[in-house]
Amino acid sequence: DGGITQSPKYLFRKEGQNVTLSCEQNLNHDAMYWYRQDPGQGLRLIYYSQIVNDFQKGDIAEGYSVSREKKESFPLTVTSAQKNPTAFYLCASSNRETQYFGPGTRLLVL
Amino acid sequence: QQPVQSPQAVILREGEDAVINCSSSKALYSVHWYRQKHGEAPVFLMILLKGGEQKGHDKISASFNEKKQQSSLYLTASQLSYSGTYFCGTEPPGGTSYGKLTFGQGTILTVHP
């Protein structure tokens, strides 16, 4: 089955710790995206990548980093510089028509 | 710039109709509609590519007025399963070669028995 997987489903971060959220897709899509969603809020773009080894900052990139070493994978690292990381993180990929989303990772701070 | 959705929330009884609007201050190439259940990923509903285009999907349909830079989502004879948050995503003129969208803030739809 084709789709987008994200892991883990829940992630706990201690203060000062970097954590990495996984996103994998087998849809053969070139573009991939990371969004942050806060309660009652829309989708805010963190980073996106159009092609392997290339990525651009979105609207709220501070405190986050990404890599795109493979077409299928677009991991997001939430660094210690992100002071308010508690949120629902969604990964998406797109063909030339629209975006398809993964199931999300909920990040909580201990 | 983020498109604006209205209303922010709507409460319905089963069988009632609703309209959700998505307006942009900039010209649009396409509008994409998604529904998100609580704690789940947004699910793609439909895409409208041409000005004046209307599309239907079961009892959910949408229109796109290119001149007014807005789209409306119509939910008729609502069912309990329609509950969720509805988002519109927009593309600027010329589109993008990779599907980058700007999303509205969402409209919360609640359907009661």
pLDDT (tens digit per residue) in A29-62: 999 999 999 987 889 999 999 999 999 999 899 9
pLDDT of residue B82: 95
User: CA B53 to CA B29: how far, in whole Å?
Assistant: 12
Q: Which helix (H) or strand (E) holds A10?
A: strand A10-13
Minimum-distance CB partner of B105 among A41, A97, A100: A41
For residues A65-90, average pLDDT: 95
Query: Which residues of A have a CB under 8 Å from any CB of B?
Result: 30-31, 33, 41-43, 48, 50, 88, 90, 94-104, 106
Torsion of CA A102, A107, B1, B5, to 10 degrees: 70
Are A99 and B39 inside 8 Å of each other by CB? no
Lowest average pLDDT, out of A3-17, A69-83, B12-26, B83-97, goes to: B83-97
Look at residue A55 and give its three-state secondary structure: strand
Write down the pLDDT at residue B28: 85
- Cα separation of B56 and B62, whole Å? 6
Cα distance from A82 to chain B (closest Cα, Å)? 22
pLDDT given for residue A1 in this prediction? 61
- pLDDT on residue B96: 61
Could you tell me which of B5, B31, B14, B23 has the C-alpha nearest to residue B75?
Answer: B14
Say whether residue B2 is in contact with chain A using an 8 A CB cutoff: yes
Asked whether the beta carbons of residue B44 and residue A42 sit closer than 8 angstroms, the reply is: no
Closest chain A CA to residue B5: A42
pLDDT at residue A69 in the model: 97
Low-confidence ranges of chain B (pLDDT < 50): none
Inter-chain CB proximity B98 and A31 less than 8 Å: yes
Cβ contact, residue pair B97, A96, below 8 Å: yes
Given this model, what pLDDT does residue A72 score?
Answer: 97
